Amino acid sequence: MHDEHICRQVVELILGVRIGKIRYLSAQDEHKTDPDSMRIIMDVFLRDENRIINVEVQTGHKKELPKRSRYYQSVADVSTTSTGTKYRDLPENILIFICTFDPFDRDFPRYTFQYICNEDKRLKLKDGSLRIFLNTKATELSALDQKLQAFYHYLQDGVVESDLTQTISDSITTLKNNSIERRHYMTLALKMADIEYDAYENGFDRGHEAGLQAGLQQGLEQGAHQNKLETARNLLAEGVASQIVARCTGLPMETIHQLIQED
C-alpha cells in the first residue's frame, strides 16, 4: 500500500469513486496531537485534494475497534488541520478498516457508518466523515462489485483473479525477497507499539479486578505491574534479548529470568 499505484486502486475500489492527485502518502505514519496524548501509528495514511484517508489492516478481533476508529478519525483531523483553517474547508475524513474477521457478527461483507438523525433516518449530518469496515471472511459477496469480490478472494485465500490482485501478489513477493524492506516493515518499535497496547489492556483488566477487591490504589499498582509482565512475556516470545526486555520494561533481570523459566 506504500506503492501509490496499488494504494490508489485499492482505495478507489473500496470507495467506488476516483480519488484526486495524491499529495501525501505514508505507511506506518505516526500521529500525535500533543506530547501527552496517546500516539497512534496508521498503517496507510494519504491525502488528495479533498480527502484524508486512513487504511488499517486489522487481523485480531479487538473489542475496542469502534472507539479506536473514533479516536483515529479525530487524531487525523487535529494533526492535519492548521491554525486558521475554516470549518468549511475541512477535507473529508475517511477511515477504512480491512478486517480478516467479522467485526460486527452480521456476515455483511462491508459495514458503512455515517452520522444520521435518530428522529429522522433520512437526515444525514453530512460532516464529511465516513467509516468503512470490510469483513474479508464474509460468506456472501454477491452484493459487491466483481473486482472487489476478487480482492476479497485474494485476502481470504490468496487466489489471484484480477490485474490488481496480481500486482499486489507480485509486490508482496518482491518485498519478501528484499531483506532491507523486510527489516523496515517489521521493526522492534512497531512490534513494541502493538505489544504494549495489548499488555496495557490485559494489565488494566487484571488490575481493575484486583482493585474492586483490595482498593483502587492497589488495583492500579497491580495493573501497572501486570502491564510490565505482559509486555515482557510478549517481547520474550518475539525473541527479544532479555537485557533489552529488562531495559524496556524496567523489570529486574531476576524477574525476566523467572518469566523465561515459566515457558
The x, y and z cell numbers of residue 98, run together, are 480491512
Beta strands in 86-221 (DSSP E): 92-99, 110-113, 129-135
Express each pLDDT in 91-147 by its tens digit.
999 999 999 999 999 999 999 999 999 999 999 999 999 999 999 999 999 999 999
Query: What is the pTM for the complete model shown?
Result: 0.68
Confidence of residue 29 (pLDDT cuts 50, 70, 90): confident
Nearest to 42 by CA among 24, 25, 29: 29
Question: What percentage of the chain has pLDDT greater than the value 70?
Answer: 82
- Taking the C-alpha atoms of residue 211 and residue 205, their distance in angstroms, rounded to an integer, is 10
Q: Are strands 40-47 and 24-31 parallel, antiparallel or unpaired?
A: antiparallel
To 10 degrees, what angle do helices 163-176 and 146-157 make? 30
| Residue 94, strand partner residues | 53, 130
Q: Looking at residue 125, what is its pLDDT?
A: 96
Mean of the pLDDT values across residues 166-187?
74
Confidence of residue 208 (pLDDT cuts 50, 70, 90): low
- Taking the C-alpha atoms of residue 231 and residue 240, their distance in angstroms, rounded to an integer, is 11
Confidence of residue 72 (pLDDT cuts 50, 70, 90): very high
The x, y and z cell numbers of residue 258, run together, are 523467572
Q: What are phi and psi of 126, to 5 degrees?
A: 55, 50
